[in-house]
């Protein structure tokens, strides 16, 4: 490509409203331009990098068994009403009306559209599993669009959805997607961690985020170099010790509703509004019982809590212990010989006050428990946020903190959407069952920005070779010089014959301008055709290291290999 033919509008000055490196450099090097807040054009260089990221994603999606399709960005409100999200998604959803006053949304995500598509086309278990994805523009009216492509209001996402007849099948697909995501971000050259995440407004259970470690990240992750443990601190931990106290007993209202005690009772004992801790988890680590509390999604109803519970029980060492734990409230763990209980609550729980919220309100009383007989009131040491230097919850490492940019997110949705939207299939016995779903997103444009954020120096961008818009920057210093001009054009042809993507700076600019622009754009190799052109000698410079060599044109191809 000749630079005179394309559009690479570089800027000398740092744009005033660009706070982070990737935003500044993508603007200055002419990869993007802002149109409105959070809305950008991808200029020719930006578009090439975007396509390269997309191609990596496509290859890995194929490896994960997912097939590409394209769904509409303009979505009928009816579908969002069916799922219930028309009311719960909030102002991030861009809503509009057509000329007949019918309501629509611009796609912020596509669970509704794909569920309606698949429910109409797939009727039998024989057609499952099925994994589909698209790469498409998404719209979210973010409260604070910022940092350029990192948080846009119009951005490009790869979103995949899978449909299954069993949870085992979902687990398998989730694994494949997890691997694909790891490969994608590795191939993009990113320093990232997969972390345990909060399932938030999407509903669902197992979920991981892929976080690029970066100081400009808006999330904080707790991880350890020597253990597998890594979590978004939204999900992980505030640590407190659970202390049993006989002195500080409180008169608690007794409600004599019969019924088996469950995690709800555990929650109630802990004076947690169970609606607020749907992600309560109890598991056993060595001799210690750990309860994880996470304030969660108010949309999730009791049935979901029970589903979670059933799955979580499996994690306990034995069925008998499980029964014991759940047939008494936490307070009576002591009497049955369990004394060592640790409570880990999520970041949303800032103080014990968050836990005691519903205790005296209707519906949150302890059920079928007897203060004296069943439990003692728990007292908690002061809640303390997990800190760097704490042991990781699996005990295998020491916690470190880092800021992270969420570039990908995988979810086991379960039947959240198929239930609400009647997405059923017939199983082997001809019975109608709800499809079990997973969903898997990657911020494609955000990934591009994350790469720019990790690959730059004081002079500009430093593209890794897999994503660079062109392989080589060919720069004749003075095109009016006959020898330089003819050698430059000869090399331009030769390099392209040898399958290099070449950007040639054929502009009539001063050398200083050409070099500064070249550094800004950040192609891995620069070939300068200058004074020694008459002798057939050019200068090859590695952008990243600054390493420079004079090379004879005959040796150039070999040198570049």
Binding site for Mg ion (CB under 5 A): 406, 409
C-beta of 333: minimal distance to ligand ATP in Å? 36
On the CB side of 55, CA atoms within 13 Å amount to 9
Residue 162 touches which of Mg ion, ligand ATP, none (Cβ within 5-8 Å per kind): none
Cβ burial 137-168 (10 Å sphere, 16+ → b, else e): ebbbbeeebbbbbbbbbbbbbbbbbbbbbeee
Residue 443 found at the interface with ligand ATP (CB under 6 A): yes
Burial of 499 (0-12, 13-18, 19+ CB in 10 A): exposed
C-beta of 59: minimal distance to Mg ion in Å? 23
Residue 157 found at the interface with ligand ATP (CB under 6 A): yes
Nearer to ligand ATP, 46 or 152 (CB): 152
Copy the structure tokens of residue 354.
């968050």
Q: How far from chain centre, in Å, is Cα 146?
A: 17
How much of the chain is helix, strand and coil, in % rounded to 5?
35, 30, 40
Residue 155 touches which of Mg ion, ligand ATP, none (Cβ within 5-8 Å per kind): ligand ATP
Q: At what angle do helices 167-187 and 44-63 cross, to 10 degrees?
A: 140
Torsion of CA 464, 466, 468, 474, to 10 degrees: 100
Copy the structure tokens of residue 148.
């350029």
C-beta of 152: minimal distance to ligand ATP in Å? 4
C-beta of 39: minimal distance to ligand ATP in Å? 11
Near ligand ATP by CB under 6 A: residue from 111, 198, 234, 406: 406
Residue 110 found at the interface with ligand ATP (CB under 6 A): no
**Cα distances (Å, whole numbers) of residue 396 to 207, 223, 226, 390:** 22, 11, 7, 11
Burial of 539 (0-12, 13-18, 19+ CB in 10 A): middle
Residue 155 found at the interface with ligand ATP (CB under 6 A): yes
Region of 149-157, 290-298, 301-309, 386-394 interacting with ligand ATP (CB under 6 A): 149-157
Number of residues forming the site for ligand ATP (CB under 6 A) = 15
Q: How far from chain centre, in Å, is Cα 92?
A: 18
Copy the structure tokens of residue 132.
């589909």
Region of 57-65, 273-281, 403-411, 415-423 interacting with ligand ATP (CB under 6 A): 403-411
Residues 235-264 vs ligand ATP: string with x where CB under 6 A?
------------------------------
DSSP string, 31-49: SEEEEETTEEEEPHHHHHH
C-beta of 441: minimal distance to ligand ATP in Å? 3
Residue 515 found at the interface with ligand ATP (CB under 6 A): no
Residue 446 touches which of ligand ATP, Mg ion, none (Cβ within 5-8 Å per kind): ligand ATP
Residue 408 touches which of ligand ATP, Mg ion, none (Cβ within 5-8 Å per kind): ligand ATP
Residue 157 touches which of ligand ATP, Mg ion, none (Cβ within 5-8 Å per kind): ligand ATP
Region of 112-120, 147-155, 381-389, 390-398 interacting with ligand ATP (CB under 6 A): 147-155
Contacts of 310 (CB under 8 A, 6+ apart): none
Nearer to ligand ATP, 111 or 264 (CB): 111
Nearer to Mg ion, 252 or 449 (CB): 449
Nearer to Mg ion, 409 or 416 (CB): 409
Contacts of 480 (CB under 8 A, 6+ apart): none
Separation CA 561–CA 548 (nearest Å): 16
Nearer to Mg ion, 297 or 406 (CB): 406
Residue 152 found at the interface with ligand ATP (CB under 6 A): yes
Q: Which residues of the chain form contacts with ligand ATP (CB under 6 A)?
A: 109, 140, 142, 151-152, 155, 157, 406-409, 441, 443, 445-446
């Amino acid at each position: 490509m000749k630079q005179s033919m394309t559009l690479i509008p570089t800027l000398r000055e740092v744009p005033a409203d660009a706070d982070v490196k990737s935003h500044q450099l993508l603007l200055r090097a002419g990869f993007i331009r802002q149109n409105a807040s959070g809305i950008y054009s991808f200029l020719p260089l930006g578009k090439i990098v975007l396509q390269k990221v997309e191609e990596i994603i496509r290859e890995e999606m194929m490896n994960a068994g997912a097939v590409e399709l394209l769904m509409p960005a303009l979505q009928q409100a009816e579908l969002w009403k069916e799922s219930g999200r028309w009311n719960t998604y909030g102002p991030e959803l861009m809503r509009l009306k057509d000329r007949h006053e019918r309501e629509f949304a611009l796609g912020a995500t596509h669970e509704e559209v794909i569920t309606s598509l698949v429910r109409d086309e797939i009727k039998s278990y024989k057609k499952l599993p099925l994994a589909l994805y698209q790469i498409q523009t998404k719209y979210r009216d973010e409260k604070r669009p910022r940092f350029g492509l990192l948080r846009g209001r119009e951005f490009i996402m790869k979103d995949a959805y899978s449909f299954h007849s069993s949870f085992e099948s979902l687990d398998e697909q989730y694994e494949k997607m997890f691997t694909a995501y790891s490969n994608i971000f590795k191939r993009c050259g990113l320093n990232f961690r997969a972390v345990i995440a909060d399932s938030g407004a999407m509903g669902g259970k197992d979920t991981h985020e892929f976080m690029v470690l970066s100081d400009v990240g808006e999330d904080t992750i707790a991880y350890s170099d020597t253990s597998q443990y890594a979590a978004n601190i939204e999900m992980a931990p505030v640590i407190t010790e659970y202390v049993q106290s006989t002195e500080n007993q409180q008169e608690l209202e007794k409600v004599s509703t019969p019924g088996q005690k469950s995690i709800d009772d555990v929650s109630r004992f802990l004076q947690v509004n169970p609606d607020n801790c749907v992600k309560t988890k109890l598991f056993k680590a060595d001799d210690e019982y750990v309860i994880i509390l996470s304030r969660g999604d108010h949309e999730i109803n009791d049935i979901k809590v029970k589903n979670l519970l059933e799955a979580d029980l499996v994690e306990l060492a034995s069925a008998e212990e499980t029964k014991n734990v759940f047939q008494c409230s936490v307070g009576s763990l002591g009497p049955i010989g369990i004394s060592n209980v640790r409570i880990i609550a999520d970041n949303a729980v800032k103080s014990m006050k968050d836990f005691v919220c519903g205790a005296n309100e209707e519906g949150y009383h302890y059920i079928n428990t007897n203060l004296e007989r069943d439990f003692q009131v728990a007292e908690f040491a002061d809640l303390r946020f997990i800190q760097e230097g704490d042991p990781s919850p699996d005990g295998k490492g020491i916690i470190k903190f880092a800021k992270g940019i969420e570039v990908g997110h995988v979810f086991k949705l379960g039947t959240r959407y198929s239930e609400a939207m009647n997405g059923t299939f017939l199983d082997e016995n001809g019975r109608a069952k709800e499809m079990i779903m997973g969903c898997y997103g990657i911020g494609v444009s955000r990934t591009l920005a994350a790469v720019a954020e990790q690959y730059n120096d004081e002079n500009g961008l430093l593209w890794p070779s897999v994503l660079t818009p062109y392989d080589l920057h060919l720069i004749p210093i003075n095109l009016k010089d006959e020898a330089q001009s003819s050698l430059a054009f000869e090399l331009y042809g030769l390099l392209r014959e040898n399958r290099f993507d070449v950007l040639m700076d054929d502009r009539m600019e001063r050398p200083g301008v050409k070099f500064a622009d070249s550094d800004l754009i950040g192609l891995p190799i620069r070939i300068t055709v200058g004074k020694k052109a008459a002798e057939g000698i050019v200068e090859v410079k590695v952008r990243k290291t600054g390493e420079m060599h004079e090379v004879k044109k005959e040796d150039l191809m070999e040198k570049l290999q």
